Amino acid sequence: MTFQVNREDGLFYRQTLFDQARRVVIKVGSAVLTDADGLNQEVIDNLAREISFLCSTGREVILVSSGAVAAGRQRLGISRQPGEELRVKQALAAMGQGLLMQAYEQAFGRYDQLVAQVLLTHEDLAHRDRYLNVRNTIYTLFEFGVVPIINENDTVSVKELRFGDNDTLGALITNMIGADMYIMLTDVDGLYTANPVTDPGAEPVYTVAEITPDVECMAGHTTSRLGTGGMQTKIRAARMVSVCGGSSFIGPGRNRDILRQLFSGDMVGTFFLPARDKITSRKHWIGHVLRPKGFLILDDGACRAVRDQGKSLLPSGILEVRGDFGVGAPVHCLDRRERLVAAGLINYSADDTRKIKGHRSSEIAGILGFKDSDVVIHRDNLVLLDRSDNIAPRDVA
């Protein structure tokens, strides 16, 4: 299979990238942290030991941790019901987040490692000033030698704008702070060619050079009662990190020495190499953090110009405009079959874009009575996406 590299090359890449990684984000999922009785204290103690060890090697580490809902459930003594309402989960998270932090505070305390709680909503990352504030806070915590422990602020997150799974949140944080590596610890040994829980013939994948549609097809949803998103959200997260130049890893969170093993070059779990063509942090923010306020359907020529020739989007290539948005809003560009092509910040409002669609740039001033730009989306504000980046519902946010 073309997306995989051979074992020797894989080992070499891993060793080099782990040696060089100075800033690392570690995400630990509900499937590992929690069991039927709530938080698994042994896993928390072990994580604290392993992360304190990494910090002692001079690395800056962030922990993205789930577990608030499970901890709240444990304290209230109520079991999980099928189709549980969001408000119930939010109430459980409100109870459990404090308990989760208490568990970490104690566990890290044994190694004299300081920790801090950072709770985020999607809105915090979608507003550029808030995004930069969060980043500065994290950098300052690093200066103090503190490990930030991040979770979604479940209690205030509205349904439509939730990260939902912490895989995505961890990837956004990795790119935001320019971390070298994103480590996702879960309840399976890594990525398999199919879900190993349901398919006994599934084989482990060690090193992924490029996240092709073949790789995406391997990923199934979660079969655990505790996790959210399964491998699908992990692969998408790995892809987001890879296009920004970082590497990712998926591996077994219950393995006692997992971080020591990884950083000493053991061949465990699945490693994803950085993409060859990386995008800037600003383009990452446009394409992966912002949710679209509208959609543009493009003709084939416009898709080719944007995707293959790196050009700006002209009004002549737009077939249809969906949604109601203002100047500067984030929009998604789709092809005729409604497959995702790109995301960008638009130079005209929805009403004005509807008026100029299908026309030449030289006609804009005549139609609108003004012309702010020849192009509808400038290529500096345009980032290519594909099917697997589609995190937004097709109706407008």
Ligand X SMILES: N[C@@H](CCC(=O)OP(=O)(O)O)C(=O)O
Ligand Y SMILES: Nc1ncnc2c1ncn2[C@@H]1O[C@H](COP(=O)(O)OP(=O)(O)O)[C@@H](O)[C@H]1O
Query: Which residues make up each annotated binding site for ATP?
Result: 27, 186-187, 228-234
Q: Give the residue with the Cβ less far from ligand X, 258 or 302.
A: 258
3-class SS at 179? coil
Which parts of the chain are beta strand (E)? Answer: 23-28, 34-35, 38-39, 60-65, 115-120, 147-152, 181-186, 207-208, 247-252, 270-272, 294-298, 318-323, 330-334, 340-345, 382-384
| Sole binder of ligand X in the list 38, 148, 227, 246 (CB under 6 A) | 227
The listed partner (ligand Y, ligand X, none) that binds 5, CB under 5 to 8 Å by sort, is none
Q: Does 222 bind ligand Y (CB under 6 A)?
A: yes
Q: Give the residue with the Cβ less far from ligand X, 189 or 210.
A: 189
| Sole binder of ligand X in the list 39, 46, 99, 152 (CB under 6 A) | 152
Q: What angle do CA 295, 121, 44 make, to 5 degrees?
A: 130
| Sole binder of ligand X in the list 62, 93, 107, 235 (CB under 6 A) | 93
Q: Does 165 bind ligand X (CB under 6 A)?
A: yes
Taking the complex as a whole, the smallest distance from the CB of residue 73 to ligand X amounts, in Å, to 9
**The one segment of 80-88, 132-140, 162-170, 356-364 that binds ligand X by CB under 6 A:** 162-170
Q: Does 397 bind ligand Y (CB under 6 A)?
A: no
| Sole binder of ligand Y in the list 11, 91, 118, 197 (CB under 6 A) | 197
Distance separating alpha carbons of residues 138 and 226, to the nearest angstrom? 29
Q: Which helix (H) or strand (E) holds 160?
A: none
Distance separating alpha carbons of residues 32 and 382, to the nearest angstrom? 38
The listed partner (ligand Y, ligand X, none) that binds 194, CB under 5 to 8 Å by sort, is ligand Y
Q: Does 253 bind ligand X (CB under 6 A)?
A: no
Q: Does 187 bind ligand X (CB under 6 A)?
A: no
Q: Indicate the length of the chain as a whole number.
A: 397
Q: Give the residue with the Cβ less far from ligand X, 60 or 167.
A: 167
The listed partner (ligand X, ligand Y, none) that binds 192, CB under 5 to 8 Å by sort, is ligand Y
Annotation: binding site for substrate: 66, 154, 166
Q: Are 5 and 42 in contact (CB under 8 A)?
A: no
Taking the complex as a whole, the smallest distance from the CB of residue 197 to ligand Y amounts, in Å, to 4
Q: Contact letters (x/-) for ligand X, 319-338, by CB under 6 A?
A: --------------------
Total binding residues toward ligand Y, as defined by CB under 6 A: 25
3-class SS at 289? helix
Q: What are phi and psi of 39, to 5 degrees?
A: -65, 140
Taking the complex as a whole, the smallest distance from the CB of residue 17 to ligand X amounts, in Å, to 24
- The per-residue DSSP string of 47-99 comes to HHHHHHHHHHTT-EEEEEE--HHHHHHHHHT----TT--HHHHHHHHHHHHHH
Distance separating alpha carbons of residues 102 and 384, to the nearest angstrom? 42
| Sole binder of ligand X in the list 21, 26, 30, 348 (CB under 6 A) | 30
Q: Are 131 and 289 in contact (CB under 8 A)?
A: yes
360-368 long-range contacts, CB within 8 A, separation 24+: 360/314, 360/315, 360/316, 361/314, 361/315, 361/316, 364/315
Name the residues that contact ligand X, by CB under 6 A.
29-30, 66-70, 93, 151-152, 154, 165-167, 227-229
Name the residues that contact ligand Y, by CB under 6 A.
29-32, 167, 186-188, 191-192, 194-197, 218-220, 222-224, 227-231
